[in-house]
Amino acid sequence: MSELKKAIDQISKDRGIDRDLLIDTLEEAVRSAVARKYGETMDIEVAFNEELGEIEVFEFKVVVEEVHDPISEISLEDATAHDPNARLDDEMGFPLKVEDLGRIAAQSAKQVIIQRMRDAEQEIIFEEYKDRVSEIASGIIQRRDRTGWIINLGRTEALLPKDEQIPRERYKRGDRVQAFIIDVLKESRGPQVIVSRSHPDYMVELFKREVPEVADGTVKIMGVARDPGLRAKVAVMSRDRDVDPVGACVGIRGSRIQNVVQELKGERIDIVVWSPDIAMYAQHALSPAMITRITVDDEDEALEVVCPDDQLTLAIGRKGQNVKLAAKLLGWKIDIFTESRYGEMNAGRKGMDQIASVAEIDMNAFINAGFETVDAIVQATDEELLEVNGLDESKISEIRMAINMLDLGSDTEEDSAEEVETEDVTVEEEATDAETEKTAEAVEDAPETDDTETPAEGEETE
């Protein structure tokens, strides 16, 4: 076996590059070297001889009577010297020794071979890791640059960007880490593998590795919401009634979930049961808080959650973490109220739903326009009510009639009358008191007089 053939076989084995691709690269490199020395006009054919294990090069010339281009033409006389059967317009091939190409052409061929091999190797790596997206990769921290940490995966390097790291997690050169492959990019210097440790799907893959029921599909993870390094919520459901999804993920004495927690540097994980009923799902997602009432707005995908006053801290969580993760898990907006606050709000909006029903518009249209109580609507002018989205003059008349018929504003009016009446009484009492004080002062200031009556003029005295 020739040295060239041995080298091809060895490189193919070590680098994982297809043998035929290597041979094609060699042929292209030699063709490029010939063109560099003799010009593009030379008609050549390059082929690898498997039996000899060598690259063979043939140049072709056309037989002519008078030669104008020595590179592509040969005279009939010279042609018959090589082949007595040569005729005009025949195309003859002549072997060209690779050794005759010269040092510069050989160097050019070497550069082409190296570049083509590098390109072929990068393409193989790209195809390999492109198929590994959404898998966990393990590597060694190599260095740090301005964009993040560079991890040596063996055949290539991966980038762990700053925004894909777990906050407050520290690394040093030589540490072995594992991360989730989120993308593979083609770049000029080679394929760029992007990995993450904060991605929600990384947690899914960790559970697949630790929990057999998740790996075989018996337990399905329906959603993950993470505050990386601090807390996470994982929604699960079971396809088998006999399998408890929460128990399967937690494991005996928490053995399974503890492995995931350790890998994520102590990130606290809440396992909640998924439900097709959004209200029930929200109740599970907001655990450990107790929920007393949930109002669902399907159109805006919003939830009004009511909890006991002493459960508000648990429901919201530290810095709003619990409700934020629950909202991310559900994909719905969540507003939380205590029972006392909710009662106050509903007392102020008593009868608003009836008015909205009469007007055939959503109650939020009134609230958005600044009318949060029935009393506010009663006192508003028609021009002000026309600012409410969806209201016109006919609907305003219907609202006025409904308020009178249903006595929706009566409580408010009675309360106002009582206040006025009370105020009037207070004013009268104050006036009476003032007059009494003035009378008393006048009496005190009056001069003292004799108690004996003075007879009237012309009246006789005894």
Neighbours of 232 (CB within 10 A): 22
If you compute the radius of gyration of the chain from its CA atoms, what whole number of angstroms results?
46
The reported pTM is: 0.61
Cα-Cα-Cα-Cα dihedral sign, residues 270, 275, 276, 282:
negative
Strand partners, 183: 194
Task: Determine the Cα–Cα distance for residues 315 and 279; give it in Å rounded to an integer.
Answer: 15
- Burial class of residue 211 in the structure, from the number of CB atoms within 10 Å of its CB (0-12 exposed, 13-18 middle, 19+ buried): buried
Residues 339 and 310: beta-carbon distance below 8 Å: no
Domains and CATH numbers, the chain: 3-126 (3.30.1480.10), 135-196 (2.40.50.140), 204-339 (3.30.300.20), 349-411 (1.10.150)
> What are the E-state strand segments in 228-313?
231-238, 268-273, 293-297, 302-307
DSSP assignment, residue 243? S
Output the tens digit of pLDDT for each of the chain's 462 residues: 466 677 777 777 776 777 787 788 777 877 877 777 777 777 888 887 777 777 788 888 888 888 888 878 888 888 888 888 888 888 888 887 766 565 655 566 667 667 777 777 788 888 888 889 999 999 999 999 888 999 999 888 899 999 999 988 888 899 999 999 999 988 777 788 999 999 999 999 999 999 999 999 999 999 999 999 999 999 999 999 999 999 999 999 999 999 999 999 899 999 999 999 999 999 999 999 999 999 898 888 999 999 999 999 999 998 899 999 999 999 999 999 998 888 777 765 667 777 878 888 877 788 778 887 778 888 888 888 888 888 888 888 888 888 787 666 544 444 433 333 333 333 333 333 444 343 334 333 444 433 333 333 333 333
Largest CA distance in the chain: 194
Task: Determine the Cα–Cα distance for residues 450 and 462; give it in Å rounded to an integer.
Answer: 19
Neighbours of 105 (CB within 10 A): 20
Residues 249 and 214: beta-carbon distance below 8 Å: yes
Instruction: Tokens for 283, please give them.
Output: 């109740």
SS3 43: strand
